């Protein structure tokens, strides 16, 4: 593979991640504090729409596995879905005058369906760009490095874009005179137009710069493909691990906007020259930069320790760090410490992200060797499914738990001590419990470094024999 192809592949997830992080971190806040849905309704909306989205992933994987064009099986979807992807993102952040609940359901379902249509083939593309397991880890690291770069750009720019497009916005006093993010619906829509335009260009570049080098074909029926997958033990365990890691990220990310808007900004009194650092956008953006450091570390760590051990060590560290985060005070020193914790936590989540995608590629190879058929798209669609189930349950759980803690979505509301403690728990103890579950699940994952070396040797020989026939 050339450097051009690696960068081109990275551009695809750079685009997807810009949308995904905004959906995960700011869309719940948009629905409850800008669009006008109640916390309970927003929670149901996120659960129902993302469950549909997750269920549609295997269907897309099956379709992509059986696609045949002059551009390959998976690349064409990057070209044909790029524009619908951008348009649906804009519609999602559009607030109508009437029929808001119906509009929210229709646009969210439409957006997630299109997201599936482009992201499942994009993920599957990894396994047909190279046949080498270590090179897949490298390619996966390029993917995640660019993904976190895109996330950083989107999260860092989001609040300034919303405020810039809100021309008549009155300043809202916060810590050190800091303004809160605009809640003007038109400003949020305009900000998304900017982000969506960037996403469109990035997917087109990804299509133009990548190639499919490995020829694979699903040789059995759809029913047989599904039956074989359901009997695949490594796949089940990896689904559990991916679901847990996505839950961890979603719960922390979704809570952050509320955590800052109603606790940190109103409590931490930073010196004027540092007040700009006290915002959800800065906190999340620092996390994305740190994620990129973790991605760089993922390849050497996994080569030395193996993917399974690297995953378990990283998740165990997240358990400890998340628990300690609860005890950090809302003081200037405490906030600086929170930023340090955000850096370290994000480095470990950055290590985990490329590992998961590379492990799915290993599961696909294991499945092809064991079952005699390549169902790459179906297996990678399950990765997207786990991501979306994590987002669905994580996002909905945050909404419902906030409601349970008595969080008040009224503009300018002063939150009760119970609601504030709820925000702190959602940033610490809940993610810690999820990370602990991930460690337990991966303990039983059988595809170690040594196991995969044997799988790849046998699979290479099998493919060579088939091509010679």
Q: What is the pLDDT of residue 456?
A: 80
When the pLDDT of each residue in the chain is averaged and rounded to a whole number, the result is 86
Q: Kindly tell me if the per-residue pLDDT of 469 is higher than 80.
A: no
- How far apart, in whole angstroms, are the C-alpha atoms of residue 460 and residue 455? 9
* pLDDT band (50, 70, 90) for residue 43: confident
| Mean pLDDT (whole number) for 424-432 | 97
- Domains of the chain in start order, with CATH, are 3-211+221-464 (1.20.1250.20)
pLDDT digits (tens, 9 = 90+) for 112-146: 889 989 988 998 898 889 877 778 778 888 988 89
Bridge partners, residue 69, by sequence? 72
Dihedral sign computed on CA atoms, order 356, 241, 110, 101: negative
pLDDT digits (tens, 9 = 90+) for 383-403: 667 766 776 778 788 889 999
- 3-state SS of the chain: helix, strand, coil percent to 5? 80, 0, 20
Alpha helix stretches (DSSP H) within 130-232: 133-165, 185-209, 222-230
pTM across the whole model:
0.72
Q: What secondary structure letter does DSSP report for 416?
A: P
Contact 40, 400 (CB under 8 A): yes
Looking at the chain, how many residues does it have?
A: 469
């Amino acid at each position: 593979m050339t450097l051009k192809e690696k960068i081109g592949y990275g551009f695809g997830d750079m685009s997807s991640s810009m949308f995904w992080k905004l959906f995960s971190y700011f869309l719940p806040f948009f629905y409850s504090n800008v669009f006008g849905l109640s916390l309970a309704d927003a929670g149901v909306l996120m659960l129902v729409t993302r469950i549909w989205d997750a269920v549609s992933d295997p269907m897309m994987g099956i379709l992509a596995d059986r696609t045949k064009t002059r551009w390959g099986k998976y690349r064409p979807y990057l070209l044909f879905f790029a524009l619908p992807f951008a348009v649906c993102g804009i519609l999602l952040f559009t607030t109508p005058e009437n029929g808001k609940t119906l509009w929210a359901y229709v646009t969210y379902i439409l957006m997630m369906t299109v997201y599936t249509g482009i992201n499942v083939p994009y993920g599957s593309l990894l396994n047909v760009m190279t046949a080498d397991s270590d090179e897949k880890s490298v390619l996966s690291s390029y993917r995640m490095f660019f993904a976190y770069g895109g996330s950083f750009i989107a999260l860092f720019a989001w609040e300034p874009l919303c405020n810039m497009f809100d021309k008549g916005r009155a300043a809202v006093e916060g810590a050190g005179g800091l303004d809160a993010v605009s809640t003007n619906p038109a400003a949020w829509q305009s900000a998304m137009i900017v982000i969506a335009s960037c996403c469109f260009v990035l997917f087109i570049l990804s299509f133009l710069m990548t190639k499919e080098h490995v020829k694979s074909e699903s040789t059995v029926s759809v029913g047989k493909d599904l039956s074989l997958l359901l009997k695949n033990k490594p796949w089940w365990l990896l689904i559990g691990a991916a679901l847990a890691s996505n839950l961890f990220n979603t719960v922390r990310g979704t809570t952050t906007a509320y955590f800052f808007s109603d606790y940190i900004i109103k409590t931490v009194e930073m010196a004027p020259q540092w007040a700009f650092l006290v915002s959800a956008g800065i906190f999340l953006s620092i996390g994305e930069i740190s994620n990129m450091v973790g991605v760089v570390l993922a390849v050497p760590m996994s080569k030395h320790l193996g993917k399974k051990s690297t995953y378990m060590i990283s998740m165990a560290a997240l358990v400890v760090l998340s628990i300690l985060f609860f005890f950090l005070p809302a003081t200037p020193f405490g906030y600086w410490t929170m930023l340090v914790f955000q850096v370290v936590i994000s480095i470990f989540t950055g290590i985990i992200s490329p590992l998961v995608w590379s492990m799915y590629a290993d599961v696909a190879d294991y499945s092809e060797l064991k079952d005699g058929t390549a169902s790459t798209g179906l297996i990678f669609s399950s990765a997207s499914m786990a991501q979306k189930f994590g987002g669905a349950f994580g996002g909905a759980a945050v909404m419902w738990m906030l409601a349970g803690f008595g969080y008040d979505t009224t503009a300018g509301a002063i939150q009760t001590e119970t609601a504030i403690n709820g925000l702190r728990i959602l940033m610490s103890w809940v993610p810690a419990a999820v990370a602990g579950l991930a460690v337990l699940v991966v303990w039983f994952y059988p595809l170690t470094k040594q196991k995969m070396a044997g799988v790849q040797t046998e699979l290479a020989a099998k493919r060579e024999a088939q091509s010679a026939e």
